[in-house]
Amino acid sequence: MFRIYLAFLILIGVSGPVVAVSPDPKTLAVPPSELSKSRELVQQLGSELFNEREEAEQALGKMGRFARRALLEGVSADPNPEIRNRCAALLPKATALEMKARFEVFLADVEGKYDHDLPGWNQFRATVRNDWTLFGYLISSDRSLEKAARSVFVELISTPANKCVVMGAGGSQTELNSIVIARRQELYNQKYGRTMGPGGGFTVSPMERRDPTAEDVAALLFAESLAPQIVARVPRQASISLLITSSGFSSQVRDTDEKGRVYKAIAVAWLESRNNPLDLYQGMTLATNMGLPNQSLRIASKLFTTPGGTVSYRGNAAMTLARLGSKEHIPLLEKAFEDTGVLTLARANIRGNIGDETPNHEIQIRDVALAVSIQLAGQTLEDYGFIDQFKTNGSGTINYTYTRYYLPDEKRTAAFEKWKDWWAKNKDK
C-alpha cells in the first residue's frame, strides 16, 4: 500500500510553496464537518443500491485528502467487504494528496520552526542528528546545520526516483528493503547502460549510460542505513563501492561546510549500520577515501575480530589497524588472541636454496593480532620472535602486511607470554 501511494505522489508531483500555504502543519487538520461527512459516505459505500454506492465513491474521490481518515478506518475496521474494497481503491490517491499537502507545508516552513509528520523527513533528521552528535556538533545551538539538513532533504526528493527511496523510509521494513534493492540495481544498470530484455536478460545501450549523482547515492545510503539486513539479497555485481566512487558523493563528504556535514552524517550512518563482511570490507576502504579514519578503524576492528570472516578481508582489516590505529585499539585486538584460524602460509624457504624442504609456517589470526598490537605499542616485532620473510628495511607500521611477518610455532607461546607481561606493566603509561 505504501508503494502505491508513493507512485501516486510521484505522478501528481510536489509543487513549491505558494503564498497561500502556511508553514504550520496544524493548518492541515481536517475540519470536523468534513470528517463527519466522509464517514457517512464511507458507510454509503455499503448501500444495497448500486447507484448510491457509486455516488458515494465519486463524492469521496472529490473530497481528496479530507476523506483519508475515514477511508483508513473503512479499510482496517469495517466488517462489510464491499466497503473495505472500495475504500482500498480510493485510499492511495487520498493518501498521495495528503502527502503532497504535507510537502507543501514543509517547504513553506523555510525557517524550520515546526515539526512535520512527513515520510522520510523525521528519519532523515534523526539520522543526521545522531551522527552530528558523533562529531560533537551542538544541534540545538546551530540552526545553520538544521537548515542544511532540510536543504539536502529537499534536494534528495527533487527527483522522482530519489523521492521514492527517501520516502520509503517512512513505510514498512519489507517495502523499504524492496525499494533499496531495486534502486541499487537500477543505478548500476544506468551506469552501464543495461536494460532488462524481454527474456529477463540484460541488454546494453551505450547512449543511455550515466553515472550516479551525489544525490542518487546519498538517498540510497540513507535508505540502506535503515535497512542493514538486505545485503544478502542485493545482486553482488551492483557494488556500492563502484556507485560511490563514480559519483560526487565522496567530494561532498569531504567538504567542510554545513552541507558537507550532512553528507558526512549520511556516510557515517551507512558505515555504522553495516554488518555483512562484504559491506564491512568495502566500507573500510570507502571510509578512508572519504576522510573518515575513525569509521575505517571501527569497521576494521569489527571485521578483524569477527570469527569465520573471509581471510583476505580480515588480513586487510589488520593492515588498516596497523596503519591508522593507536594503543586504544589493542584491547579489541586482544579479543582475537585465542583465534587459531589460518590467514595464510609463510614460505620459510623464500630466500633459501632450491630443493629446501623446510616446512611452511602458518600465519594465524592470533599472530596477526599480536603483531599489530606490538606495533601500535611502539615495540619491535623481532624482539618477540617474529621473522620478516621479505627482509626489507625497518619494521614500521607503514610497511606492515599480514603476509610479511610470521611467528614460528616454537616461539609462539613465549611471544604471547612476553606480550602479556609487558602490556600489564605498560598499558597505563
Task: Report the 10 Å Cβ neighbour count for 40.
Answer: 12
Question: 13: phi > 0 → left, psi -120 to 50 → alpha, else beta; which?
Answer: left
Q: Are 123 and 96 found together in one domain?
A: no
Is the pLDDT at 318 greater than 70, yes or no? yes
Q: Are 153 and 264 found together in one domain?
A: yes
For the stretch 185-210, pLDDT in tens is 899 989 887 665 555 555 555 547 88
Domain final residue, candidates 84, 109, 134: 109
Q: Are 147 and 269 found together in one domain?
A: yes
Mean pLDDT of 139-153: 75
In a domain, 48, yes or no: yes
Burial of 4 (0-12, 13-18, 19+ CB in 10 A): middle
Q: DSSP characters for 110-162?
A: TT--S----TTHHHHHHHHHHHHHHHT--GGG-HHHHHHHHHHHHHHTTSHHH
Of residues 37 and 305, more confidently modeled: 37
In a domain, 375, yes or no: yes
Q: DSSP characters for 14-57?
A: -PPP-TT--S-GGGGPPPHHHHHHHHHHHHHTT-SSHHHHHHHH
- Which residue in 373, 344, 374 sits closest to 361, CA to CA? 344
Which distant-in-sequence residues (6+ apart) come within 8 Å of 166 by Cβ? 120, 124, 153, 156, 157, 219, 222, 223
Domain final residue, candidates 109, 131, 158: 109
Q: Are 33 and 143 found together in one domain?
A: no
**Which residue carries 556535514 as its cell?**
261
How far is residue 41's CA from residue 43's CA, in Å, rounded to a whole number? 5
Burial of 425 (0-12, 13-18, 19+ CB in 10 A): exposed
How far is residue 283's CA from residue 244's CA, in Å, rounded to a whole number? 11
Is the pLDDT at 334 greater than 90, yes or no? yes
Mean pLDDT of 209-215: 92
Q: Are 367 and 302 found together in one domain?
A: yes
pLDDT band, very low/low/confident/very high, at 170 (cuts 50, 70, 90): confident
Of residues 136 and 161, more confidently modeled: 161
Q: Please count the structural domains in the chain.
A: 3
203 φ, ψ to 5°? -120, 155
Q: Are 137 and 254 found together in one domain?
A: yes
CA atoms in the 13 A half-sphere facing the CB of 95? 20
In a domain, 14, yes or no: yes
In a domain, 283, yes or no: no
345 φ, ψ to 5°? -115, 140
Mean pLDDT of 388-415: 78
In a domain, 280, yes or no: no
Domain final residue, candidates 77, 109, 141: 109
How far is residue 14's CA from residue 29's CA, in Å, rounded to a whole number? 19
- Cα 110 to Cα 21, 58, 145, 154, 390: the distances in Å are 12, 36, 13, 11, 62
pLDDT > 70 fraction of the chain, expressed in percent and rounded = 82
How far is residue 167's CA from residue 176's CA, in Å, rounded to a whole number? 9
Q: Are 131 and 96 found together in one domain?
A: no
In a domain, 146, yes or no: yes
Helix and strand totals (H; E) in the chain: 19, 6
- Cα 333 to Cα 7, 343, 412: the distances in Å are 49, 15, 16
Mean pLDDT of 299-322: 88
Q: Are 124 and 249 found together in one domain?
A: yes
For the stretch 349-383, pLDDT in tens is 544 444 445 568 899 999 999 999 999 999 999 99
Where in the sequence is the domain holding 105, given as residue range(s)? 1-109
In a domain, 123, yes or no: yes
How far is residue 132's CA from residue 262's CA, in Å, rounded to a whole number? 8
Q: Are 35 and 71 found together in one domain?
A: yes
Q: Are 94 and 171 found together in one domain?
A: no
In a domain, 289, yes or no: no
Q: Are 103 and 131 found together in one domain?
A: no
Q: Are 214 and 299 found together in one domain?
A: no
